[in-house]
Structure 1
Amino acid sequence: MISLQQRSIAHFDLDCFFVSVECLSDSSLKGKPLLVGGRSDRAVVAACSYEARQYGIHSAMPMKTALKLCPHALVRNGDMEKYSQFSKDVTDIIARQAPLYEKSSIDEFYLDLSGMDKYFGTMKWTAELRQLIIKETGLPISFGLASNKMISKVATNEVKPNGQLQIPFGNEKIFLAPMPIEKLPMVGKETGAQLRQRGVENVKTLSEIPVALLEAWLGKNGISLWNKANGIDDTPVIPYHEQKSISTESTFAADTIDMQFINAELVRMTEKIAFELRQQNKLTGCVTIKIRYSDFETVTKQMSIPYTCCDHLLLEKVKELFKKLYDRRLLIRLIGVRFSHMVQGNYQISLFDDTQEMIALYQAIDHIKNRFGWQYLMKGTNVLSPEKKKLAGPTPLRPYYKKF
């Protein structure tokens, strides 16, 4: 059996993914400062090219600010449907080739290649997979190959764009030592400032600080940071399963055909599990609706959607799908909503045409729901009369995982 210390983990990252897809669609955009996002002054930058980054532009920056920094930058609206399809194309290629992989976000993957050196050259195999992805999709992609997930991700970041790097087993600390502390995962502006105030500027210095002292400075995060500075990461590669889903159902106290009530229930259930998606920092790429009629016939219908976890986008798809599915005009006993094809990500990347205010609104809504419970803040259409509340019957307070 291979120990954790002898693992071989590859981290693949599609370079400037949204920008690369846009350049693939329009080759005239290559080599130019390109911003992907909404066009209004209050919109935000969802992604930017390396050429745009040279002007100090970064993702989540207000579009107005970005255009002040680089007035001649080109702006393209985001197309989440197109990006989702390219992400799925890359996933399919990796799934065909890799023994074990984890899709950690729409554009990042971890592959566990432990033991493959007995039969293949792991670096050679990984490089060939990278070339296959480039050939079949046309997208640039980089990878790092190392003994754990953290080192492989840092290695990828060091060779982007369109590069590859292997860190041999035993060289983890040597690789990290000269790097600024901000190169480590978990070291953001605040943590970095705290450490630099104490004279800690590179990873080598950080790795030599007693773990008890780091814990005193940073709490439990100090222990995790000490491990990272010393190249230690036992996090497993979690197998990716498209079938993983989150869903909820509502069985009515009495069979009904009251569309106003059913619409309110669809809104309530969608908001509930969309909130759960955001809590887990996940996006869904597939929506399924379930209907059980009064004669107990049960039907389901699903559709693939651009990755998102936004209430207003998901509600549109849920209602559209329900209208297509509900065709018998019988009384309904139960309805259900399921989100599947889930990947890591946050809702900012899908709000291409939304403003900073919209993003702030979602953050405020989720803050209130986290503090008081999801059911204490909902759309007005969810407010039912006492009679219709009786019709709804008891409902679970939290989403649950199951198969329809």
Structure 2
Amino acid sequence: MTSHLPNLLVPETAVSVAGLTASLQTLLEQEETLQQVWVTGEVSSASRYPSGLFFTLQDPEGKAALSCVAWNTSVHKLFKQPVSGEQIVVLGSIRVYPPRGQYQLIVTQALPGGEGLQALRYRQIRDRLAAEGLFDPQRKRPLPAHPTIVAAITSPQAAAWGDIQRTLKRRYPGLKVLFSPALVQGNQAPESLVAAIERVKRDGRAQVLIVARGGGATEDLACFNDERVVRAIANSPIPVIAGIGHQRDETLADLVADVCVPTPTAAAVQAVPELAMLEAEYQELRESLHLAMQHRLEQDRDRLRSLRYRLRRLQVDRQIQQEINALTWKRHQLIQLSNQRLQNATQHCQHLQQKLATLDPHRILQRGYAIVRQSQGNLVRSSSELQLEQELVVELGQGQVTVKVTGLSNSSNRDILNT
């Protein structure tokens, strides 16, 4: 097929990306006022690398940010080492980094500038909420041992959501997961997080609530220090696990949550027990019960042998009759007590068997669900893995069938809670 494209006239003045970047680099780096410039701001993040100290300066209102670097030759000369949350004044020159088309300040000196506004606001909010008792350990609620429904709040595009799903499915097959999507970064994130928590509260089914996001710079986690979000977590009737990925500073959401862990995956681990562990506990209890019954029966046999021996040694008919009567009564008590204990043990064992049966993955198939595999045996988790006319093997509660794909859809069967 021959395509017909219109004749486009390219201006002779058009320049390449590299050419434009080089022009901007020359313009900025040769500007005298930018050769030695003092800049004041708040350190929002700082990281040390083999080549030097990289940090970000931010306006108090968070309206602008400047990337800064102090190379190793200058770091030891700094009067004040940049620390996240502190206000500093730095001296440096503007340089352009062409591979990314970014400009940065090459810092040669740093002076203290007082406590940063954002750090001050964080401390003021934290102190006020702490005075109200929102962070008291006595307010922390225990997590349910065996939840059947767990709710998760995070961004639907974030890797954290995938990590949570995989971890919950691996540790506790058959668990119901409710997803309440929210923004986890930006100016609209606090309002979005509060709305997501309210959706879960109104739904009322979840027994555990996970609030999570992946790692990020300090400024990216600002929404989890918002007072509205903190109070929404504190007022949640459902125990909350905070799985906010950050390296150093803890957020106010961490302090108010019932359980705080460093990653979304760790939050999923805290939410549910591992099925293999439950099975091991059941086997251990069953073995302990069996050994206890054997020990008790052996004690009863020894006592019975002792009574029989005493009976054979008695010469007087009256004493024999008395011992027979006593032995009969003791035997009756023994049988009654043993039957009662055996009945209690049997009921306990049946309870454990029923509990384990509810966790059996094959029960899911018996309720009408199915496992779909490709012809090579690989599990099918998404319609995006399939092609039309592809043959699949469907495993049912009893038996399996071979089917052919006649149509594809990307819709999900997960519950999505929306306002």
Question: Could you tell me the TM-score, scaled by structure 2's length?
Answer: 0.21
Q: Specify the structure having the higher radius of gyration (Cα).
A: 2
Q: Which has the higher contact order (CA 8 A, sep 6+)?
A: 1
Question: Could you tell me the TM-score, scaled by structure 1's length?
Answer: 0.22
